[in-house]
Amino acid sequence: MQKQKIQIWDLPIRLFHWLLVITIALSYLTIEIGGIWADWHARLGALALGLIVFRVLWGFFGNKQARFSQFFPTPSRLIQYFKGQWQGLGHSPLGALAVFALLGLTGVVVITGLFANDDITLFGPLYPLIDQSLSDWMTGVHAIAFNALLTVIGLHLLAIFFYWLVKKNNLIKPMLTGKKYLEIHHHTDQTKAEAKPVYFFISIALTLLVVWLTFGNVLTDLLATKPVPQAPSSQSQW
């Protein structure tokens, strides 16, 4: 049977994936060590926020295989998949479940992190917008959601090994190169699927805007009712 090399993961998707892997690993490492590394946990939080915002935008405006509508795991698609009838490029319906779980949980971790505190020197950039008790609650959710995220990452890795060893299907290489050898009948589905470059730049611009609004203290300066904890000490005479 004739096989053909087909691009299934575009560069933004691959960069997103591997940068997120690195970000999650380093975030965990830096907060575990603490001390001066806690600052890096916050910086990595900014990167994680940017990655998630970009991926969500790219899920609407991106190339075909990146778009949520293309792989949303509807019940009918899942049934097809389990009957072995699913044919397609990109995320399989089961893989799509993992994608949404990973994106959703990372989103919860990132958003709660914006409001969280470690009660030592680390305060999320939006901490000044809420009460300490709510921030403590957010911190708890931040930790629980991260543990859930680790569990789903574990399942994700198990699935990849299962595909590799049992189904003889290497999923890692396409995530690195973007390309996959496929039997030619898949090719019928390859319509013009690339997003206009302008959508990429709009997504990047909106991502930077969101990161700037949160981590650039713009939102807190506009909305905060209490002083930022890092504010310089007052120059009282006693």
Partner 1 sequence: MTKLSLLLTSVVLLNAGLSHAGPIEDQIKYRQSAYSFIGWNTNKIKAQLDKPETFSKEEVIAAANAIAAAANSGLGALYGSGTDQGEGWRKTRLKSEFFQKPDEAKKLATTFNLEANEFAKVAETGDPVQIKVKFGKLTQSCKACHDSFREKDPK
By the criterion CB under 8 A, which residues form the site for partner 1? 33-38, 118-121, 133, 136-137, 139-140, 143, 229-233
For residue 195, CA distances in Å to 11, 51, 63, 198, 206 come to 12, 18, 5, 8, 16
CA–CA separation, 220 and 139 (whole Å): 18
Least separation in angstroms between CB 138 and partner 1: 11
CB of 220 to partner 1, least distance (A): 15
Closest CA to 132 of 53, 6, 229: 229
Find the DSSP H helices in the chain.
11-33, 38-61, 68-71, 75-82, 93-115, 132-165, 172-177, 197-215, 218-223
- Smallest distance from the beta carbon of 230 to partner 1, in angstroms? 5
Identify which of residues 33 and 155 has a Cβ nearer to partner 1 in the complex.
33
Nearer to partner 1, 204 or 228 (CB): 228
Strand-strand pairing, 3-7 and 179-183: antiparallel
User: DSSP class of residue 231?
Assistant: S
Q: How far is the CB of 26 from partner 1 (least distance, A)?
A: 17
Measured from the CB atom, is 194 or 221 closer to partner 1?
Answer: 221
Q: How far is the CB of 31 from partner 1 (least distance, A)?
A: 9
CB closer to partner 1, 169 vs 230: 230
Cβ distance to partner 1 smaller for residue 36 or 165: 36
- Read off the DSSP letter of residue 79: H
Contacts of residue 169, Cβ cutoff 8 Å, sequence gap at least 6: 163
